[in-house]
Structure 1
Amino acid sequence: MAKRISTQEKILNAAEALFAEQGFEQTSLRQITTEAEVNLASVNYHFGSKKSLIQAVMARYLEVFMPSLQTELEQLAATGNFTTREVFNCFRKPLSDMGQVRKHGPTLFLSLLGFAYAEIQGHLRRYTMEHFGDVIALLLETLHQANPQLSPVDMFWRLHFVLGATVFAQVSGPALREIAAADFGEAVAADQVIDRLIPFLAGGVDATTDTPVAQ
């Protein structure tokens, strides 16, 4: 017998799919309720507002992703000596774990994350810092330890470049793999894209800079 999906879960699933496809700003509550086949009052009853619904959609991923990332980073930090590439390798398992949240979870999660930054969803940043600020602080600490030569502002820009490249590579991964197969006869699995991406990201963060280091 098929598991009965609750109204709340129907709304979350519909919102997630629409947010990942067209962004938060372009998705209306009416579109979500139409997709979920529920009435508009259900959103207000279960979530209260669109912002709260957005946070609930992201929470399904963040509540799995962040603890997993924290574990990986703590294990790395305990070694006392590590590279930027090793820091980024800590993201492999947490991203893979997204597949346990939803089918195509890694792609959906990064697509949602990309829209969150592109559309300046400040409430999501506040939500993330309130619930997972210690993990973010640990990530920044390990990256600064691996790159003591970088100023905070340089690290800010480089981490956002990292996010942009990662979102593009993950969301466009299927198309890129098809092109690689057609043009180079190379069959590339999804995890092999990550194998190619991480050295690129680490090289970008590690690169020398002409920007004066803040004292």
Structure 2
Amino acid sequence: MDVILNNLKIQINSKVYVKDPETSVLGKKIIQQSILLIHEIGFEEFTFKKLGEQIGSNESSIYRYFENKHKLILYLSSWYWSWMEYRLVFATNNIVNPLEKLIKAIQIVTEKVEDDQTTTHINESILNSIIIQEFTKSLQTKEIDEENKEGFFLIYKRLINRIIQMIQEVNPKYPFAKSLASSLIEGAHHQHFLMNHLTTITNCNATVSPSDFYTHLITSLLKQQ
């Protein structure tokens, strides 16, 4: 799997960027350092001017790749969801039993993310932290409907649709597969956030993971129907 991931080309909607950052050393540096800087200071404080100072380049050079920082976070989130989709597909491809396949998928999208050493310019563990805190904000904008029409969230929706299909294969009679799958993705993020910041209102901790919680929740729910 590592060999395949090392050779794959993540496909991102070209309308998100001005120039594909994967095509140059500077572009990859922009991606690498933007992840680190957003993680350090937060997306609200993040600017292209600060990023330019960090990478030792003019602010204008960053605009050659991204129109604004909103498009940059859309790029980062699209990359993350595409990477997550590849992991899910490879991890579940040879599993025949529908319930076992769903459980594996739940683990993939809810577990603690470790850095993938095959992608040298992207730290997936840090990017995951950014997605947990910032992705919902990139969705909840006045431009959401137009951006959705442009296909900016296609990869995110495609990942969720894969899980919807798995839920339906386990229990075709369950009437809320779409809501359950989308709640799984966002709920897992919320549980990870609570683990790190508001520990008194979650059962997830060092010994009980969000994967444990959602595996128990979803398998119990589908068996009861």
Q: TM-score range by the shorter chain?
A: 0.5 to 0.7
Counterparts of 1:194 and 1:72 in 2: how far apart (Å)? Answer: 24
**1:200 alignment partner in structure 2:** 213
Q: Which amino acid aligns with 1:160?
A: E
* Matched ranges for 1:19-168 at <5 A: 19-76=38-95, 78-82=96-100, 85-91=103-109, 95-96=113-114, 98-102=116-120, 105-121=123-139, 126-129=151-154, 131=155, 133-146=157-170, 149=174, 151=176, 152-167=178-193
* 1:22 CA drift (Å): 3.7
Counterparts of 1:31 and 1:119 in 2: how far apart (Å)? Answer: 21
- Larger mean Cα displacement after TM superposition, 157-166 or 95-104: 95-104
* 1:102 CA drift (Å): 5.0
Q: 1:19 to 1:145 in 2, by over 3 A?
A: farther
- CA-to-aligned-CA distance 1:142-163 (integer Å, 9 cap, x gap): 1344465462445544542222
Q: 1:144 to 1:102 in 2, by over 3 A?
A: farther
Unpaired stretches in structure 1, ≥5 consecutive residues: 177-192
- CA-to-aligned-CA distance 1:68-102 (integer Å, 9 cap, x gap): 212223333x3334375333234489945634335
Q: Which amino acid aligns with 2:191?
A: A
Q: 1:70 to 1:162 in 2, by over 3 A?
A: same
3-state secondary structure, aligned to 2:152 = helix
Unpaired stretches in structure 2, ≥5 consecutive residues: 1-23, 200-205
Q: 1:157 to 1:47 in 2, by over 3 A?
A: closer
Q: Is the 8 A contact 2:35 2:127 kept in 1?
A: no
3-state secondary structure, aligned to 2:93 = helix
Provide the identity percentage. Answer: 11
Counterparts of 2:84 and 2:120 in 1: how far apart (Å)? Answer: 12
3-state secondary structure, aligned to 2:94 = helix
* 1:44 CA drift (Å): 1.2
Q: Which amino acid aligns with 2:129?
A: S
TM-score normalised by structure 2 residue count: 0.61
**2:12 alignment partner in structure 1:** none
Count of aligned positions:
185
3-state secondary structure, aligned to 2:133 = helix
Between structures 1 and 2, the one with greater helix share: 1
* 1:39 CA drift (Å): 0.7
Q: Is the 8 A contact 1:85 1:198 kept in 2?
A: no
